[in-house]
Amino acid sequence: MSPDLLRSLVWTDYRLALVFGVLVPLVLLVWSIVKKAQPISHLLWIYWRVSSLVVISVYLLIDRNPLGLAVGFASLILIPLSLWFWVDLNEEIADRRGPLKLAVSCWRWATTTYCIVSAFGHLPYLKCAASKAAILSSECQVWLEPPLFYKEMFHRATKSEKLGFIAIAALLLYGLYLGYFVLFRLTKQGRSATSI
């Protein structure tokens, strides 16, 4: 693949992630709170917890940590799971009517499709996550451009190493919570989101 095409695809991927991963769910969350649509709000809060992995991956990539690509790939798997896994929420949302339900359903399907397509697009570049030298290769550096642009916009005065350290700490906390959830809460409550 030509470097220009790859660069265009990577930037498009980040833009789509911004739309489907931040802007639309933020609007839906506010809308569901205003409408007092508790099952939809609950689903969206679960989504925000899971999707925080994307933010961690961006901050890892700001520090040029190859783990950022692997974490970003994992988020593309976990996000669709978080949207469809909960039997009770799926049933409650299916019973609803109106424009909010339609908007949430469209967003869930669009986000799921985006994550699947993006995950397949990331597969050939997981080799960039193998080492610091790999991620600094010319082919892999394209994946660093959007996170570094983000850093320039919002964290210009902060050192990349500091942001990377915060990302590692956040990833450890995320891993501990995910481990606790899988080993204890999931075995106890199954696919019910009521106690989350």
Tens digit of each residue's pLDDT (9 = 90 or more) over 21-45 = 999 999 999 999 999 999 999 999 9
Which pair of tokens denotes residue 6? Answer: 């790859």
Separation between Cα atoms, residue 139 and residue 142, nearest integer Å: 6
Q: Quick one: which of 100, 87, 80, 99 has its CA closest to 40?
A: 100
Tokens 């696919």 belong to residue = 191
Tens digit of each residue's pLDDT (9 = 90 or more) over 40-99 = 999 999 999 999 999 999 999 999 999 999 999 999 999 999 999 999 899 999 999 999
pTM: 0.92
Other beta carbons less than 10 A from residue 110's beta carbon:
14
Separation between Cα atoms, residue 172 and residue 166, nearest integer Å: 10
